[in-house]
Amino acid sequence: MKRLAVAQAVAWRSLHNFLHNPSLLIPSLVFPLFFFTAFAGGLSGISRAPGFQFPYGYTAFQFAFVVVQSAAFAGVFTGFGIARDFEGGFARRLLLAAPHRSGIVLGYALAALGRWLVTVSVLTGVAFAVRMRVGGHGVDLVGLYTLAILVNFTATLWAAGVAMRLRTMQAGPIMQMPVFLVLFFAPVYVPLALLQGWIHAVAVANPMTRVLEAGRGFVAGAPTEVLAAYGAILALGALFTVWAVRGLRKAEAAG
């Protein structure tokens, strides 16, 4: 099987399972909507805090975060599927059948992107249904979605590397917890300038802070920190590409 054919086969199978299995599809849709509702609705009073400056309201402020979060967790949940494929024996048979095994990683990455596109389509529809305001006539949202695609790709590579090394669903917390911590140690609820103490220092050093700041700039129609955000996520993507490829080699060696 050629590399592209392997990738297409893996992606189609993963997406088919996702779309036809309510236990996979429903949580992927409900969790981002829950976070969006809880943050944008339940915490909207934060926008009246002194020094909070975001011209398009708290709903738009949190929309950028939830888009990035949903992209990251679509990648993590794809990692769960990789681990499940190893437990069920499918991944091992695939390793034997595919001479171009890098296509396996590419296929799972395409599946993760497909999962996220379904989720973000619903999320965006809900956001505009509740009259979320955006700047720049919404054109700059393309920048936010592009950043989120890179986050999705990076998270998938991280989770794939873990799944291929451990090859068990028990690796789920190892895939999920670092991503969760990186996301929530960024300025989630308020702008970076309003954070204080150790959390501010951690957020400044956190590469996801640049991604969120740029994403919120895109929502507001006033792009900011774009080069820093793309540079940070591309560097992480390169790092986790090596991580995933080495994980694939470990899975091959394990047989």
Q: What is the pLDDT of residues 192-235, one digit of tens each?
A: 999 999 999 999 999 999 999 999 999 999 999 999 999 999 99
Residue whose token pair is 């020094």: 51
Average pLDDT, the chain: 92
Distance separating alpha carbons of residues 149 and 145, to the nearest angstrom: 6
For 81, the enclosing helix (H) or strand (E) is helix 57-88
Distance separating alpha carbons of residues 105 and 82, to the nearest angstrom: 10
Three-state SS at 255: coil
pTM of the model: 0.94
Q: What does the pLDDT average to over 10-35?
A: 91
| Domain ranges for the chain | 3-254
Q: What is the pLDDT of residues 94-149, one digit of tens each?
A: 887 777 778 899 999 999 999 999 999 999 999 999 989 999 888 899 999 999 99
Is the alpha carbon torsion for 57, 59, 63, 66 positive or negative?
positive
Q: Please check the confidence at residue 19 and state whether its pLDDT lies above 90.
A: yes
Distance separating alpha carbons of residues 110 and 115, to the nearest angstrom: 9
pLDDT value for 149: 98
Distance separating alpha carbons of residues 26 and 111, to the nearest angstrom: 16
